[in-house]
Chain A
Amino acid sequence: MSESTESLFEGRIPIYPRSVKGRFRYIKWGVLALAYGVYFLLPWIRWARPTGPDQAVLFDLNTRLFYIFGLVVHPQDIFWLAGFLLLAALLLFFVTGILGRVFCGYFCFQTLWTDVFIMVERLVQGERPARIRLAKQPWNFEKIFKLGATHVLWLLVAMLTGLTFTLYWADAPQLTLQFFTGKAPFPAYATTAFLTATTYVMAGLAREQVCTYMCPYARFQSVMFDRDTLIVSYDQGRGEGQAGRHKVNKQLKTHDQRQAAGVGDCIDCGYCVQVCPTGIDIRNGLQVSCIHCALCVDACDNIMDNMGWPRGLIRYTSENELEGKKTRFLKGKTFGYGAAIAIVLGLLLWSMTHSTKYDAVSRQIRQPLYVVMSDGSIQNSYELKINNKTQSPLTLTVGLDGLKGAVLDVGNFKNFTIPPEQYLRVLVRVRFPGNTATPEDHDFSFVLTPQNGKIPPIKVPARFYTP
């Protein structure tokens, strides 16, 4: 390429993917049904809790609590999110190293939503040739109606997508009602509008351009590939033979005739190109635009079945396999990523199951740092902030540890009761008899003992200051 004269940007060539039936298409429909099912139904699942909302998954920004089924994530647990993201990234690397771009082809929301948008397009405008015809024909009622209906349906799907996203952040039935009666809070409308717009643009208009131009993953996934990684590939040796591919005609009809003429198994029907959602020709080899969705595999398999020839002219294979060697799945990378996943998953689960039921910090009152009392004793004051992370009220008493002879003054309180998932700030005063006081400062701990006996006490470190 002579860079100086060519523009880096090329205007989009419209793609009209043809539909196809086959193994991988069914897998994709299955994944799509599962993903859509989970995404659209999850906010509507109810979940009875002792306290808090009865929505199974709710990210409540007002109380700063994330409810995920039986798990309640508090602000201080937010590093779980970091752990979860790390796990997701490692899982992606792990799977990509072995199975290639399966995430792109089957699970990426861009691919899934584009799939649905293409389906809508086909339902309204018909199969590929009809769509191409429609695009070429001059503007008339039919074209306006069909294209208009397509875009209206697209916007509807996009809006449902946007609205569903906002339902994760508030009570779903209530917000839906508010949304359509004009009483929902502004952020709900803004979020829905934004996601409607992005879904419509990304899945409806931009489509494969997201994968080829915008997606960073498409750019760096190749570093996770090796010669054993599964890729969707055209078997060049079988397809081309010595004389290249050739259409079926009278002289080149049967397998034997073609073999004799040195022509390969590819009949150049173009079906694999027509079904491709990113509009590439897989026979040109591995390329960055290929999202490995395997629709071309289904297409080619169908043709091979019709011809009565063995399947697999386009198939999931690896570079090693294409060269006649064996594909090795158990390699250093597999174990490395596997070990990393096991460690992160283990730490995350351990942290989730062993998180404290409540926590506390002590804050020294520094104005004044210490006070001499009338009997000569020295008093320090502290504010204890106690955080109840359980779903039930927590009653606890405050005690001292490591400050011999000191007296604790908590005012009129024998114990403190903190409502579920709330915090309480408590003023406590510690007095140290003057006659025994040493000039040094002392480290000690407050001991918080829950009264129900099921939760172990915790210690909160603090420091005692003397004149």
Chain B
Amino acid sequence: MSNAADKKQTGAVQTTGHAWDGDLQEYNNPLPRWWVWAFYGTVVFAVVYWFLYPAWPVGTSFTKGFDTVTYEVKQDGKEVKKTVPWNTRARLMYEDEYGAEAEKQRAYLKKIEGSSYAQILSNPDMMAFVRSYAKTLFGDNCAVCHQAGGTGVVGHYPNLADDSWLWGGTVREIQHTITAGHHGFMPSFRPTFSDAQAHDVAEYVLSLSGTKGGDEKAIMRGEKIFHGQEGGCYYCHGEKATGLISQGSANLTDHVWTIANVPAAKTYDEKVAAVEHVILHGVSRVMPTWQGRLSSTQIKLLTVYVHELGGGQ
């Protein structure tokens, strides 16, 4: 270090050698040599980097660099190999495809593909995979309506975490529901019923699940309408009002309310009003078909996932 030697000799800090106004001088304290070399190192590094990776903008394009990433991508329904200049997104796609975790996932998916529902449901290891993998599938495809975790929205989308299955809760039935979709329909009884009749039927429906506070006579009248020609409710909801899976009609004797938000109503009158509203306006709900949009393995995974949400049947 030359300036260190200078310091030793002169006993003072080196100056730049100029003098202004006779005695005004400027100290010269050069940066440490290791610092300067480290700086030169970064310059060399940058030059190497320009050649290796995309770096310089050229018009509307950029210098591509020598390093490339190759990964598979779906194009027009076909798997095509794509090679692009190195970038973090391509790198991520590559990892998704060929990373260690991707390999593990593929192995599991293959296992799921080759197993029956009974085999999957009785294997804790596969079930753990289904829960974590299908959770994302559910979030991407189903949660828009059914909400995260299958909570549903009362009046619009059924709760999948309870044990009330309008279209059936076995794996076969759930798979069919997801594959083909459903159209749930209850006609509006506004043209048929007078307000009094709608009120009576509502009281009867509430009494079916043991809701207290109803008027005995009104319930009797409602029962007659429900089971008679006037209402004909039993066509769909069944003699015992327990619903019909083939129709997707609700079981009115249980504690689960999917359309009329009875549990949220505070007074008995409000509960009646909620049920009445459903009777007078009817219900029309559509679950779309997922065939063609999801692969059979994905439907299988979602079936098991949904089955487990509500404890299945």
Say which size band chain B's interface belongs to: 20 to 34
Q: Find chain A residues with CB under 8 A from B23 CB.
A: none
Say which size band chain A's interface belongs to: 20 to 34
Report if B149 contacts A (CB, 8 A). Answer: yes
9-residue interface stretch from B229-237, B251-259, B282-290: B251-259
Report if A411 contacts B (CB, 8 A). Answer: yes
Report if A388 contacts B (CB, 8 A). Answer: no
Distance between A347 CB and nearest chain B CB, rounded to angstroms: 35
Q: Find chain B residues with CB under 8 A from A409 CB.
A: 311
Q: With the chains together, A413 CA to B308 CA distance in Å?
A: 13
Q: With the chains together, A7 CA to B5 CA distance in Å?
A: 8
Interface string of B123-140 (1 = CB under 8 A from A): 011011001100000000
Interface string of A396-413 (1 = CB under 8 A from B): 000000000000010111
Q: Find chain B residues with CB under 8 A from A372 CB.
A: 162, 255-256, 263
Q: Is the CB of B128 within 8 A of A425?
A: yes
Report if B159 contacts A (CB, 8 A). Answer: yes
Q: With the chains together, A294 CA to B1 CA distance in Å?
A: 36
Partner of A7, one of B4, B127, B132, B254: B4
Q: A367-B147, A373-B162, A373-B163 are known contacts. Are A412 and B11 too (CB-CB below 8 A)?
A: no
Residue of A nearest to B10 (CB): A5
Query: Which residues 80-132 of B sit at the A interface, judged by CB distance below 8 A?
Result: 121-122, 124-125, 127-128, 131-132
Report if A375 contacts B (CB, 8 A). Answer: yes
Q: Is the CB of B149 within 8 A of A367?
A: yes
Report if A34 contacts B (CB, 8 A). Answer: no
Residue of A nearest to B161 (CB): A371
Q: With the chains together, A383 CA to B130 CA distance in Å?
A: 13
Q: Find chain A residues with CB under 8 A from B149 CB.
A: 365-368
Query: Which residues 292-313 of B sit at the A interface, judged by CB distance below 8 A?
Result: 308, 310-312
Q: Find chain A residues with CB under 8 A from B127 CB.
A: 411, 426-427
Query: Can you add 13 more A-B contacts, CB < 8 Å, to A413-B124, A425-B132, A426-B128?
Result: A365-B149, A366-B149, A367-B147, A367-B149, A368-B150, A371-B159, A372-B256, A374-B162, A374-B164, A374-B251, A379-B311, A426-B124, A427-B308
Q: Find chain B residues with CB under 8 A from A376 CB.
A: 255
Report if A143 contacts B (CB, 8 A). Answer: no
Residue of A nearest to B164 (CB): A374
Q: Find chain A residues with CB under 8 A from B124 CB.
A: 413, 416-417, 424, 426
Q: Find chain B residues with CB under 8 A from A284 CB.
A: none
Residue of A nearest to B128 (CB): A425
Q: With the chains together, A375 CA to B162 CA distance in Å?
A: 10
Residue of B nearest to A422 (CB): B125
Partner of A411, one of B1, B8, B121: B121
